[in-house]
Structure 1
């Protein structure tokens, strides 16, 4: 059913006017995040946008869902034809595209007004949010153009052109404002730059305040860019600001002639600058290999390496003892530099830059060209450091960091999460633009992180005992066995390793639960003349549905992942005699846990059913869940035994 989009543009306009009125009074705006799982990608979706723009995008998405037939064949990517209603000049798709174009232009006008005021006031945060908003409008207009497959109109072309111009204009404003501010104010420090003074600067106990402010400012800019703008855009802006200001600092310190009393101050400043560069560089490289070797056009890392190395060489000449300098020049300075410096190639660096070796020779040993020549701990650390520093998840690099060097990264993380406290909560969708509720609902807690690591290991390692070898030692040391007792099926506050194994099994049980849901009537059985008759009838249905769950799992036992069965069998050997799992084995207990977690979640049942379940169905499924908590009463022993045998038969 197509939605009436005639009021979409006016609705968006009202929200924009309200936000503009509030901004004129408070000079503040509210940023609303985009769904975490929609960030980045091929279209470089931003992280957040103005609240009014984000709200407008959510309305666009609802209109799109209702305009396009939800029965579309998604596997083929074919959109159904929508007939043009009588008396209307446009089809629903064309009407939606027109409304989106109009409201998009309103959003751009609104972003322009706010950004002009923010630039005058020097408000970096609002400028970043405005840039992200313009980028989001451009992103969604291009997306709708591809989805709706409407002929390109003059208005759409004009709107996309305006978006591009707005994004470029805001990027230039942000770059010019931040670079000018750093040049004129933050990097200007007369007190600490009196290099000819015969007195030491603060008794040689601190470096220049201008360098400190540069470090703080660059860290703040990076955090704001990572929080608001799109990944590629934020990386480009940060790289431009950083390389520009670094060039100024290198030029300045190359020309300084400090007095003998200010030499310690000069050395402290140079080391501080190199340390700041080393801390910022992982945010600007796509791979940790670029910390060791890089070619021109691959990354901004090459000019940064060149500038930092030049600063170190100049500082070495200025600060080294005179007898060492004389010895080097006696042997030939050009030959010494060529031996220890870069190859004669202006377009690449083939081995560890000298300035990184100078800062940390154990982490950046001399003459190495890639991570494979480093120790295990150094290689894993640099890989995960690069992952954590990037503006968006680098999934191939995450997997590489977890699985490299005999799973060292995985072992370290799991060791810290085995006994981590935290309650397993369902979480709520972010309700931002392009929200994917089934993905963004799980909260970021130790349990979900542990489950994600276990999922990566199971999917990416073609070796059955791998998961067991990683989880087993930590489980044995933790001694948290209570959740594996048959009387604790109801307790969803499980240790992270228990939660992870249940999550790995859950996809195997949803089909069985869906079959049972089809048998559950929308309403409870009709009330008979005597209450005892209703109780008997309900008991009969509950027993039948519980039995259907157990017998159904016998048929799909081969769909339970073999690494999980192997890990469960290993854990079963660790159990003390006081712990008795359901069915007499950990693997059966885990499967029943997965059943109970699915049955006990109304959101999961809504997704498994053809339509949202009724209150009556929910009440009956709660009763089925209670039956699963008391399988040890002896009525289902034979079925549990058969299910255990079917699982272990693999």
Structure 2
């Protein structure tokens, strides 16, 4: 679709919307643009696609924001915005009579309000057309447009200094706030219409069939060889619609719509099957249908749950209303299945003493809902008593992990807090399995990617930006990068193991490190796993993934150290003095390094073979200077590129070059910065030769050891202080409860990642 890119904004937008409507009338669809996968979802719930018109309006309004504030709001990727404005400035400077765009905060608000009002009316028109024709494609396109503009308004609201423009706004609300509220309401209203449309299709067509629902018939349905068509079609429709929702509307909204569909249809099915009185010939059909419904819900329910507890009905009072409703309806269906399916003789024996003694008619407070045990029999073996658990921590390890993984894999977008929980729960059981498997399936040492070319460091090694709107290189796919390498499977394993090592070290406990990394290294039967920690391997940039992950803990503090070392050498410092200065810098910067570095170093030291001799006879010194060596090489390359660029600019300019110094340059102090960085990197390999810096090395090691002890002591003192403070401010009757906690209080599990509240998302 061709649009006007020049001229007054308020003239361009009506033309854009008119052409968008003409395109719909001609093709019965809305022209859409994809949103970058790295932006989709998140806290603002960005859509997967939006209409072309809404994307264009957002781009134009962002341009107006830049004109008003001379800075970017952060909505678009910074490099794209700068490149765009540099291109415009060069075009204006090249020609005569160029018009420089100018604006002010109040004018920006006026333009935004008028523009989004026009778009709101346009979205209303399209959505009404979609509802009249039951066109889901057009309806989801309008949802994407409304969601994109709503989120853009939210970003601008946080950036503007003035959000009021009369007559629409006032000092209490503000024009932008009112526009944001209107689009929020429009987005929610469209989601409700989408849910209503799906529910009407389900209840009026999908789960209706005269032959299947003829319960008084004296002939068995399909010779009792199958269940109803309606349940099969319901299952297929729910599966297909879930996939469509996951691919078309914002992820959180998709989850809400799907939850509403499941709940509404379960209401109809529960009433139908619990109140139906079938003939003898059709009684078997009812049992088969109810069984199929429960099995289907067992597969569909994880997609709308937040965690494994909600999936199986644990801690049900703290779950959302819709989850409670679904569990309640499924339990009704399960009771119906039992009462109608049990033989009459058995039913008489059970009920002759009264129904009050039957457990199924009583509330199982805090326990797993019985229908889930029926629908998921493999997760609840009878010999493990998992059905008596009152919380996930009491379930067997395999069951607890399976429940969380089902929820994690069924979600429409990445659930980072749940992923972290799954990787670290039960003493990092899943991480340990991944470690022990992948460490045996890594590429050979010759095929390791050098540190500077790892995608985690060198973003240029990844694929270029995608064609999606708002792309900021967050969408880069490690798998796609791995496919371009010689050993795709090995490189994928390398990247997974490196990321997993970093997570376990940063977020796990010492026992987690021992059961994952240390255990995998010991059991891998790789004779040369520790060779990378030898002093002769400091220079080697091809490292195993676990070592590269550990070095990522050190990389962030190295830039100021490198700058200080290069500056010192340029001001007549010798290499010996530079190495001494590096040790002093590490000593000063030690508090900036995560404490977990010393933890993993201690674990590695305990299993280090006797024939391996690290730099300074310390794994700590070895790792610090391996990281510094890599960063010095990177600095050398970047400085060499800068020097080459400067030489080209000097050749092109009319300014005479700086005269070279007479005579040969004999000292390192007079060399370019790139050469200095390379020389410093080479000197690192010999920092501990001839006992040159032994005292400083030992001092740094002792400082790290004492720092770790001080941290542990401080934690113990804080725990004691909290206890004393509580005792000093508590009443006598409360003190006894503190000393003798009730069984519901978690003590030994307080810091278990499976139960810790800090890992849950904030609401």
**Which TM-score tier does this pair reach, normalised by the shorter chain?**
0.7 to 0.9
2:29 maps to which of 27, 36, 44? 27
For residue 476 of structure 1, what is the aligned residue in structure 2? Answer: 522
Following TM superposition, by how much is the alpha carbon of 1:311 offset from its aligned partner in structure 2, in angstroms? 0.9
SS of equivalent residue, structure 2 residue 267 = helix
Pair 1:411-2:432 in alignment: yes
1:557 to 1:91, Cα distance in 2 relative to 1, 3 A: closer
Q: Indicate if the aligned counterparts of 1:49 and 1:132 stay in contact, CA closer than 8 A.
A: yes
Following TM superposition, by how much is the alpha carbon of 1:400 offset from its aligned partner in structure 2, in angstroms? 3.8
For residue 50 of structure 1, what is the aligned residue in structure 2? Answer: 51
For residues 115 and 184 of structure 2, the distance between their equivalents in structure 1, rounded to whole angstroms, comes to 16
For residues 192 and 607 of structure 2, the distance between their equivalents in structure 1, rounded to whole angstroms, comes to 62
For residue 41 of structure 2, what is the aligned residue in structure 1? Answer: 39
1:163 to 1:70, Cα distance in 2 relative to 1, 3 A: closer
For residues 455 and 65 of structure 1, the distance between their equivalents in structure 2, rounded to whole angstroms, comes to 39
Q: Indicate if the aligned counterparts of 1:35 and 1:436 stay in contact, CA closer than 8 A.
A: no
Please list, as runs of the form range in 1=range in 2, the aligned pairs for 1:352-367 lying within 5 A after superposition: 352-360=368-376, 363=379, 365-367=386-388
For residues 5 and 92 of structure 1, the distance between their equivalents in structure 2, rounded to whole angstroms, comes to 19
Pair 1:369-2:390 in alignment: yes
For residues 229 and 176 of structure 2, the distance between their equivalents in structure 1, rounded to whole angstroms, comes to 51
For residues 622 and 102 of structure 1, the distance between their equivalents in structure 2, rounded to whole angstroms, comes to 55
Following TM superposition, by how much is the alpha carbon of 1:178 offset from its aligned partner in structure 2, in angstroms? 0.8
Pair 1:379-2:395 in alignment: no
Pair 1:247-2:267 in alignment: yes
For residues 57 and 573 of structure 2, the distance between their equivalents in structure 1, rounded to whole angstroms, comes to 48
For residues 563 and 31 of structure 1, the distance between their equivalents in structure 2, rounded to whole angstroms, comes to 44
Q: Indicate if the aligned counterparts of 1:183 and 1:245 stay in contact, CA closer than 8 A.
A: yes
Q: What is the root-mean-square deviation of aligned Cα atoms in Å?
A: 4.9
For residues 7 and 587 of structure 1, the distance between their equivalents in structure 2, rounded to whole angstroms, comes to 63
1:134 maps to which of 139, 146, 160? 146
For residue 103 of structure 1, what is the aligned residue in structure 2? Answer: 115
Q: Which is greater in Rg?
A: 2
Following TM superposition, by how much is the alpha carbon of 1:304 offset from its aligned partner in structure 2, in angstroms? 0.7
Please list, as runs of the form range in 1=range in 2, the aligned pairs for 1:325-340 lying within 5 A after superposition: 325-332=347-354, 334-337=355-358, 339-340=359-360
Deviations 1:168-222 (A, max 9, x none): 4412321222111112332234555555666665665543343233223223333
Following TM superposition, by how much is the alpha carbon of 1:243 offset from its aligned partner in structure 2, in angstroms? 0.7
Comparing 317-326 with 558-567, which one deviates more in the overlay?
A: 558-567
For residues 89 and 387 of structure 1, the distance between their equivalents in structure 2, rounded to whole angstroms, comes to 48
Following TM superposition, by how much is the alpha carbon of 1:274 offset from its aligned partner in structure 2, in angstroms? 0.8
1:212 maps to which of 232, 238, 254? 232
For residue 527 of structure 1, what is the aligned residue in structure 2? Answer: none
Deviations 1:398-422 (A, max 9, x none): 4444433323343344445445668
Q: Indicate if the aligned counterparts of 2:367 and 2:389 stay in contact, CA closer than 8 A.
A: yes
Following TM superposition, by how much is the alpha carbon of 1:581 offset from its aligned partner in structure 2, in angstroms? 6.9
For residues 244 and 397 of structure 2, the distance between their equivalents in structure 1, rounded to whole angstroms, comes to 33
For residues 63 and 208 of structure 2, the distance between their equivalents in structure 1, rounded to whole angstroms, comes to 52
Following TM superposition, by how much is the alpha carbon of 1:117 offset from its aligned partner in structure 2, in angstroms? 4.8
For residue 513 of structure 2, what is the aligned residue in structure 1? Answer: 467
Q: Structure 1: which 5+ runs fail to align?
A: 73-87, 522-539, 607-611
2:367 maps to which of 351, 370, 376? 351
For residues 133 and 499 of structure 1, the distance between their equivalents in structure 2, rounded to whole angstroms, comes to 43
For residue 609 of structure 1, what is the aligned residue in structure 2? Answer: none
Following TM superposition, by how much is the alpha carbon of 1:371 offset from its aligned partner in structure 2, in angstroms? 1.8
For residues 548 and 213 of structure 1, the distance between their equivalents in structure 2, rounded to whole angstroms, comes to 75
Following TM superposition, by how much is the alpha carbon of 1:574 offset from its aligned partner in structure 2, in angstroms? 5.4
1:274 maps to which of 283, 287, 294? 294
Pair 1:236-2:282 in alignment: no
Q: Structure 2: which 5+ runs fail to align?
A: 74-99, 169-174, 381-385, 444-448, 480-491, 649-671, 705-763
For residues 57 and 621 of structure 1, the distance between their equivalents in structure 2, rounded to whole angstroms, comes to 45
SS of equivalent residue, structure 1 residue 49 = strand
Please list, as runs of the form range in 1=range in 2, the aligned pairs for 1:448-467 lying within 5 A after superposition: 450-461=497-508, 466-467=512-513
1:508 maps to which of 554, 557, 577? 557
Please list, as runs of the form range in 1=range in 2, the aligned pairs for 1:242-641 lying within 5 A after superposition: 242-258=262-278, 262-290=282-310, 291-295=313-317, 298-332=320-354, 334-337=355-358, 339-343=359-363, 350-360=366-376, 363=379, 365-392=386-413, 394-418=415-439, 424-425=454-455, 426=459, 427=462, 443=478, 450-461=497-508, 466-478=512-524, 479=526, 481=529, 491=541, 494-513=543-562, 515=564, 554-555=586-587, 558=590, 559-568=592-601, 570-571=603-604, 587-588=620-621, 590-592=623-625, 594-595=627-628, 598=631, 616=645
For residues 253 and 160 of structure 2, the distance between their equivalents in structure 1, rounded to whole angstroms, comes to 27
SS of equivalent residue, structure 1 residue 188 = coil
Following TM superposition, by how much is the alpha carbon of 1:299 offset from its aligned partner in structure 2, in angstroms? 3.0
TM-score (ref. length: structure 1): 0.74
